[in-house]
Amino acid sequence: MFFLMVAGAGAGSTTCHVAAHALASPVAAIFFASAVCTLALAVLLGSMRLRPPWWCACAVCEAYLTASWTGEFDNLCDWFAHLLRREPGRTVHVHVLGNVLTANPATVEHMLRGRFDNYPKGAPFSAILADFLGRGIFNVDGDSWLFQRKLAAAELASPAIRAFTASVVASELRCRLIPLLHSASAEQGGEEKLLDLQDVFRRFAFDCICKISFGLDPGCLELSLPMSAFADAFDTASMLSARRATAPMHVVWKLKRLLNIGDERELRDAIGLVDDLAAEVIRQRRKLGSATASGDDLLSRFMGSINDDKYLRDIVVSFLLAGRDTVASALTAFFLLLSDHPHVADAIRDEVSRVTAGGRDVDDHPAIASSENLKDMHYVHAALYECMRLFPPVQFDSKFAAGEDTLPDGTPVAKGTRVTYHAYAMGRMESVWGPDCAEFRPERWLRDSQFVPESPYRYPVFQGGVRVCIGKELAIMEMKAAIVAVVQGFDIETVGRSSRRPKFAPGLTATFAGGVPVKVRRRARARG
C-alpha cells in the first residue's frame, strides 16, 4: 500500500490527467472509484489499529475536532499550554491525534536520555515529512541519522568551521543587514519605511547558511525565478507539511496526495521549487569544487562521502530548515520582545559598550563584535535564552514509542503512540519557572552577572541527551552577533500590534502570522 501511494505521489499532474480520462468511461469510472474507496478503507483500518478511535468524544478531543478552543485562544500552542498547566502531571492525552503531550521535565529526560532507544522519530513521523525532508537528519533514525550526525558534528566542532562561520556572519552584518536597516531608517525630514522584520531576518539567515553550509553566495545561483519565489515555496512546504501532522485522519491527506488535489497539490508544487533550489545548490557546489578544494563548507564534506543527488538534496533542505528558519524565528521574537522591554535594550548596550570599549567602527556604524567579545556578553546571552524560553523556534517535538512504556508521572504509553514534549508550554509553567514565568526577565539566567544554563530537560529548546542540537553554539554566536549589531545602532518599533500576544502561522518552526512590520530608527549616537 505504501509503495502504491509513493508511486502515485511521484506522478505529478499525470494523476489528475489519468483520473479525468477514467471518468470519461462509466466502467472505468466505477473501477477508479472502487479503487479509491478500497485505498481509503485500508488506510483507515490501519490507522485505527495504531491508535484509539478518531471519534473520541472526551472534552479535549471534542474541543479539538470542533475548534471550539479558538473562542478563547488565538493559537493551538496556547491552548495546549493551558491544558498542560491544569494537569498535576503536566501530561495530556489527545486521543483523536493518538498523541500524549507533556510539559514535565522528568518525562522529557525520560524520552531524550533514560529511554532514548524507545522514542525514535518513528515511521509515522517520517512519512508525514518524507516528501519535504526526505532522508535528512531531522526525519530519520538509526544508521542514517548517526552517519549524518557524526559527520556534521565533527565538522561543526572544528576551529576552521567556527572561524569561517564568524567571518561569514560578520560580513553579512556589515555588508548587508546593517546597510539595509540604515537605508530603511527615518532620517531627519525623511519618510519612515516599514520593514517586515521576520522577512529581513529570514533573508539574513538564508544568506548566512548558504555561505556556511554550501560555500555559495545566493546571488550566484542560476535560478529560473526570483529567490523570493523559492523562499515562499520553502515556507509553503513547511506549513503544509506541518498541517499533515494535525489531521485526525491521515487518510485524508494521503488520498489528496494520491489524487493530487487541494493543499497536497500546492505542497507538491512548492516542493518542486525546493527541489530546483537544492539541485542548483548541488550543481554550483560541484562546479566550484575544483576552485575551492579546501572545502570549508559542510556540503563539500558530505559530497565527499555521498554520491546520491537525492540524498544530498535532503541534506541541503535540512541545512536550510535548521539554519534559516530557526535563527530567523528566534531573532524575530527577540526584537518583538525588546520593543516592549526597552530597559533590556539599554542593558545590552551598556554591556556591549563595556566589553567592546565603545562598540563603534571608525565610520560610526555599529561595530561587529568578535567571537571573543561575544563570549564575554553574559547579559546578551541571558536575554537570548530568555527569549527562546518564551518563544522557542521549534515549539514542540514528537517521538513515537517503539514499545510499551510508563512515563515518570504514571501515564501509560502504548506501542506506536506519539509522545510530544511541548517546549512552548514548558516555558510558561509556574512549576518549572516560578510565578513570574510569563515575564521576560533575562536576570533569571544570571548568577553574579555570569550566565548559568538550566537543565536541557527543563529547557529543551536545543533538545537534550543524544539528540542535542549539534549546531547550537554556532547558532548562538550568529544570533548574538546580530543582536549586538542591531541594538547598538537602531531602535526597532513594532507597528500595528493590537495585542502583545502574537498569532502564529502553521509551520515546522514558529512563524508569526502576517509578518512583523516595524519602523527602524538610527540611534542618535550613530548619526553622522
Mean pLDDT of the 321-345 span: 95
Mean pLDDT of the 3-31 span: 41
Residue 225 scores a pLDDT above 70: yes
> Would you call 177 helix, strand, or coil by DSSP?
helix
pLDDT interval class at 415 (50, 70, 90): very high
The reported pLDDT for the residue numbered 518 is 95
**367 lies in some domain:** yes
pLDDT interval class at 39 (50, 70, 90): low
Residue 149 scores a pLDDT above 70: yes
**121 lies in some domain:** yes
- The DSSP result for 87-98, as a single string, is STTSEEEEGGGT
Out of 157-166, 470-479, 498-507, give the one with best mean pLDDT.
Answer: 470-479
**74 lies in some domain:** no
**243 lies in some domain:** no
The reported pLDDT for the residue numbered 392 is 98
Q: How far is CA 346 from CA 178, 466, 522, in A?
A: 19, 38, 15
- Confirm if 133 and 321 have CB atoms less than 8 A apart: yes
CB-count exposure of residue 212 (10 Å: 0-12, 13-18, 19+): buried
Out of 111-125, 351-365, 383-397, 513-527, give the one with best mean pLDDT.
Answer: 383-397
pLDDT interval class at 1 (50, 70, 90): very low
The reported pLDDT for the residue numbered 358 is 61
Q: How far is CA 264 from CA 13, 126, 244, 378, 511, in A?
A: 11, 17, 9, 46, 21
> Would you call 155 helix, strand, or coil by DSSP?
helix
Mean pLDDT of the 143-163 span: 89
In the block, which residue shows the cell 553550509?
A: 213
Residue 37 scores a pLDDT above 60: no
**146 lies in some domain:** yes
Least confident range from 72-76, 248-252, 358-362, 432-436: namely 358-362
CA atoms within 13 A on the CB side of 169: 29
The reported pLDDT for the residue numbered 185 is 85
User: Is the four-CA dihedral 48, 51, 57, 60 of positive or negative sign?
Assistant: negative
**489 lies in some domain:** yes
- The DSSP result for 199-260, as a single string, is HHHHHHHHHHHHHHHHS--GGG---SS-HHHHHHHHHHHHHHHHHHHT-S-HHHHHHHHHHT
**DSSP-assigned beta bridge partners for residue 100:** 93, 419
At residue 158, what are phi and psi to the nearest 5 degrees? -75, 140
The total of structural domains in the chain comes to 1
Residue 66 scores a pLDDT above 80: yes
- Confirm if 484 and 168 have CB atoms less than 8 A apart: no
Alpha-carbon span 261 to 5, nearest angstrom: 14
The reported pLDDT for the residue numbered 278 is 94
CB-count exposure of residue 93 (10 Å: 0-12, 13-18, 19+): buried
Least confident range from 75-84, 128-137, 291-300, 397-406: namely 291-300
- Confirm if 316 and 471 have CB atoms less than 8 A apart: no
CATH number, domain of 422, equals: 1.10.630.10
Residue 8 scores a pLDDT above 80: no
Alpha-carbon span 131 to 316, nearest angstrom: 14
Residue 16 scores a pLDDT above 60: no
* pLDDT averaged over every residue in the chain: 86
Task: Please indicate if the annotation marks 469 as binding a ligand.
Answer: yes
**C-alpha of 208 from chain center:** 16
Residue 282 scores a pLDDT above 60: yes
Alpha-carbon span 409 to 397, nearest angstrom: 19
The reported pLDDT for the residue numbered 36 is 52
The reported pLDDT for the residue numbered 218 is 85
**294 lies in some domain:** no
- Confirm if 125 and 257 have CB atoms less than 8 A apart: no
Mean pLDDT of the 347-355 span: 95
**36 lies in some domain:** no
Q: Which domain holds residue 421?
A: 96-215+307-526
Q: Look at 443 and 220; give whichever has higher pLDDT.
A: 443
Q: Count helices and strands (H / E) in the chain.
A: 23, 13
The reported pLDDT for the residue numbered 15 is 40
Mean pLDDT of the 149-155 span: 88
